[in-house]
Amino acid sequence: LMRSFHRVILVGRIEMETSEDIDIQEIEHNETKAEQQRVEKLCEDLFREISQAHPETGGVAPLMRSFHIDYARAGLSTLPASYASLDASQPWLIYWILHSLELLGFEIRDPAQHTGIVEKLRRCQHHEGGFCGGPGQMPHLAPTYAAVMSLAILGRMRGHHALEIVDRPKLANFLARMRQPDGSFTMQDCGEVDIRGAYTALAAARLCNIRFTPEQERQTVAWIARCQTFEGGMASIPGAEAHGGYIHCGLAALCLLAGLGDDPETTPPKSTQDKCREVVSHIDFGRLIEWSALRQQRVEGGYCGRTNKLVDACYSYWQGSAGVVASMIARHLSDARYDSAPPSLPLQETSPPASPPSASRFSRLIGDPGSHSMMNQHALQEYILTCCQHPLGGLRDKPGVHRDYYHTCYALSGLALAQHNGTNFLSRPESEPPLPVWPAVNASSPSSLVLPTDPLYNVRPAKALHALRYWRAREGETPLWVESQDTRMTMEQRMHLFKLRAE
């Protein structure tokens, strides 16, 4: 098919007339459609089975909290051999496990274990700034984000905050080196540019009280806006395909640039409201949220990452956060005090069909009637709890596949978003119940509720707030500014850098 297709492009023919031609629709029906139907059937069977087995919980599987905690805790001491391929993702493994545990309500209270994790992350910090995927490796923005979030989760122990190991001046220099003249970021020296770089750089900088200049921020806003596709979603770079992970990175980065991730005690509401309005004006906000909302699957209730792809539990957070952040933005634009109902976003609401499909009660359109949410929270919780919990602990992306720490982390993060509201979490103490609480599937069983996660940083709101205030108390009100650098390199400079790294 591809050989025949390329021949048409090169020769300029209008039709494919060779014997190699294949009916594309037939391929989609035989492979893509069949796989989609298989996953839907697996989910419907599970919905039906659990509905009969757990009538006391409304037909939804209860959260296997103790099993998930045991699975996550085991990963802090010993990992299976299959994780050897993630040697360059060591801070990520720590973050996935720690965040899963904090959402489940488990805190690291053993001083020896706390110190051990902090020291492990210290060894991953590069002497030139930033964090590496493992000791002795190259600094990279992705593990830098994971390391900073992990340190924020660990917090204070015996009078010392885990974040104190961060070398902020060198981290600021590393971020300056990664930043490109057009406002984009490379993931590492001589590495690729994509929207993940903008998000990870901004999130790590914010929690370490490192700031970019207003001109630098304007350039980054403009670059992110160029990543919006004709579909409405966000791509890794301008002109690429929209993807669920990138829509989170783009939208969350814009919110951080608007000040929505800052300590509300130090950020005037009017200033945040004005910056939020300015940032959102650069993108087609309605189409972006619509694209994300339409990735929630009708039958399964979970999200897929791209158009015509299968459901995957990790997108419960990556895609689900877009709807939560949209509600957060709407509240800021309508009322800086967050005390009024969010306005309707520029997305047409869909009414339930007059006669629902007969396949199952899970075949429904996205959005609860009368809700300002951009997701069906009820369906998302059903998918995570019923289809994604492994019987031995941990979560998986869909029924019939293996569990892992990545999907455990982001499935629980999506569950937290589905169970809690979309206000700016940093503006409310965690001791106060969020208002309004989105409907939990298992309202009669508090044991199935997880703790809230901040939709921008993806750590518990209290931990993000403590990190912001730690630097304020230590460094005062003055942030560390990222200085502009000429990051363009000649080929000779690149080869010299690689030679130094190798030595």
Which is catalytic among the residues 404, 420, 463, 470?
Answer: 404
Indicate if 314 belongs to the active site.
yes
160 counts as catalytic: no
Catalytic residue among 140, 364, 372, 407: 407
Q: Which of 189, 263, 397, 454 is catalytic?
A: 397
Based on the residue annotation, tell me whether 397 is a catalytic residue of this protein: yes
pLDDT truncated to tens, each residue of the chain (503 aa)?
Answer: 333 333 333 333 334 344 455 565 565 557 888 999 999 999 999 999 998 888 877 788 999 999 999 999 999 999 999 999 999 999 999 999 999 999 999 999 999 999 999 999 999 999 999 999 999 999 999 999 999 999 999 999 988 999 999 999 999 999 999 999 999 999 999 999 999 999 999 999 999 999 999 999 999 999 999 999 999 999 999 999 999 999 999 999 999 999 999 988 887 777 788 888 888 899 999 999 999 999 999 999 999 999 989 999 999 999 999 988 888 887 777 754 433 333 333 333 333 333 322 223 222 323 333 345 688 999 999 999 999 999 999 999 999 999 999 999 999 999 999 988 654 466 554 554 444 445 555 544 677 899 999 999 999 999 999 999 999 888 776 788 898 765 555 555 555 665 665 66
At 350, list the tokens.
């869909």
Rounded Cα–Cα distance for residues 100 and 77 (Å): 15
Residue 216 token pair: 């630098």
Annotated active-site residue 315? The verdict is yes
454 is catalytic: no
Give the C-alpha separation, 36 to 44, whole Å.
Answer: 12
pTM of the predicted structure, to 2 decimals: 0.85
CB-based contact 203:175 (threshold 8 Å): no
**Catalytic: which of 303, 312, 406, 463?**
312
Active-site residue flag, 87: no
CA angle centred on 18, ends 17 and 19, rounded to 5°: 125
Instruction: Considering the candidates 122, 309, 361, 472, report the single residue annotated as catalytic.
Output: 309
199 is catalytic: no
